[in-house]
Amino acid sequence: MREGEYDAERAERTGLSRRRLLSWAAVASGGAAAAQVAGVFGPSPGWAHPATPTPTPAPTPSPVPGIVKPLPATLLTPRGTNAEMCWESMRGQGYLTPADRFFVRNHTTTPAIDVATWRLRIHGTGVRREVSLSYDDLLRLPRVTATRAVECAGNARNLFGSQQGTPAAGTTWGLGAIGVATWTGVRLSDVLDRAGVTRAALDVMPVGLDSMAVRRPIPVEKALAADTLLVIGMNGRTLPPDHGYPVRLLVPGWVGVSHVKWVGEIEVSTTPLLSQWNTTSYRLFGPDYPDTPLVTTQVVKSALELPFPATLGRGVQLLTGRSWSGLGRITRVDLSVDDGPWRPAHLSWRNDEKAWRQWSFLWHAKPGEHRIRVRARDDRGNVQPDAVPFNEQGYLFGAVAQHPVTVL
């Protein structure tokens, strides 16, 4: 294996297999692809990734220069330094969000990082010894895979204004600041073990290598959870630059900011750690929150795989969408059209925890202006409310969205 690659074949026991895709390609195109397939099954130059993933250059200047991947308008909508996934681009997709349309939330810009010199330094009062690991050191640790959502705390923020009449400050996300991927990496606990976490350890703060050094502390219990990972792969490929290459954190169920990208340092402390990402932001400020609670876990949400607002033809329409919860799995989804009765959606079987569940609903669409509402419930009994109390920075908008649909 070359430096900067990871053994995706081993990592890819779940999710869509590229090897299978290539075999289908070989079947479809006759003998031409046979050598390629043989290579893939063999000692495998077919798996070689470039040391640093080389993005396809966008044909026109990028609408968000700090983002490396192309931003086709059919997949992603620019929002300041960020890009929002178009929900209609998920229709017909499988369980996972392909990397080409996975939302990007950058406080500044995607940095270029050389894995040959990259180090992960673990230090602080909560560890017995400071350690510094190379990318190859990480590749030698036991490999773990988890399918989980990453969702921005401010996802659906725009609905505070459009639906409740109280606009909130921050990136005006619709519902597309979420994606589900199969993440491959190593357990953060395996890495922290190397440094010897003491019993007195309290907080763990990963530090990003971007220009703002984004750093959001998490409690040591969450850091040591079995599915809290240092991620090196996304959907069976090397983690792309915009999503944290070479290494990012995965903190399942927790708000996006805790999934620190481009991590280069982790501080473990016996005293509470503070940064702007757990003091002045990512707290709920507002009349209903006198204690300004910290935002940690995500709430239940749902989205239709349609533009917002949408236009549809009349007659029988198959509505599709996804619902998710940061606390578990989705057990029920209901739809209501124009304040009519709630009717159950048909739920798909796959229902990974802290990921999402796909559903569908047959609708006899009549011409005119309509409003479709989707309400989900998770296995902890959390149900989406009709409205949520306002908070100044517009986090955790978990109320039922009112999706405007025009039928022609």
Ligand X SMILES: Nc1nc2c(c(=O)[nH]1)N[C@H]1C(S)=C(S)[C@@H](COP(=O)(O)O)O[C@H]1N2
Q: Interface with ligand X by CB under 6 A: which residues? A: 102-107, 150, 152, 208, 210, 214, 243, 256-257, 259-262
**Strand bridging mode 315-324 / 343-344:** unpaired
| Distance between CA atoms of residues 95 and 180, nearest Å | 8
CB nearer to Mo ion: pick between 177 and 192: 177
Distance of closest approach, residue 152 Cβ to ligand X, in angstroms? 3
Distance of closest approach, residue 66 Cβ to ligand X, in angstroms? 10
Distance of closest approach, residue 329 Cβ to ligand X, in angstroms? 22
The two structure tokens encoding residue 85: 């996934």
Which helix or strand (DSSP H or E) is residue 188 part of?
helix 188-195
Residue 87 gets which letter from DSSP? G
Distance of closest approach, residue 278 Cβ to Mo ion, in angstroms? 13
Interaction of residue 186 with Mo ion, rule CB under 5 A = no
CB nearer to ligand X: pick between 299 and 319: 299
CB nearer to ligand X: pick between 4 and 179: 179
Distance of closest approach, residue 259 Cβ to ligand X, in angstroms? 5
What is the DSSP secondary-structure string of 349-400? S---TTS-EEEEEEEEE-SEEEEEEEEEEETT--B--S-----TT-----SP
CB nearer to ligand X: pick between 110 and 384: 110
Distance of closest approach, residue 83 Cβ to Mo ion, in angstroms? 12
One of 69, 79, 101, 105 touching Mo ion (CB under 5 A): 105
Interaction of residue 152 with Mo ion, rule CB under 5 A = yes
- Phi, psi dihedral angles at 243 (to 5 degrees): -105, 10
CB nearer to ligand X: pick between 260 and 273: 260
Of the listed pieces 145-153, 196-204, 287-295, 379-387, which binds Mo ion according to CB under 5 A?
A: 145-153
375 touches which of ligand X, Mo ion, none (CB within 5 to 8 A by kind)?
A: none
**Strand bridging mode 229-234 / 237-238:** antiparallel
Restricted to residues 241-260, the positions that interact with Mo ion (CB under 5 A) are 256-257
The answer to whether 214 touches 111, Cβ cutoff 8 Å, is no
CB nearer to Mo ion: pick between 81 and 382: 81
Tell me the torsion sign for CA atoms 138, 139, 144, 148.
positive
Report how far apart, in Å, the C-alpha atoms of 46 and of each of 3, 40, 95, 143, 145 are.
16, 5, 25, 20, 21
The answer to whether 345 touches 360, Cβ cutoff 8 Å, is yes
Interaction of residue 223 with Mo ion, rule CB under 5 A = no
Q: List residues near Mo ion by CB under 5 A.
A: 105, 152, 256-257
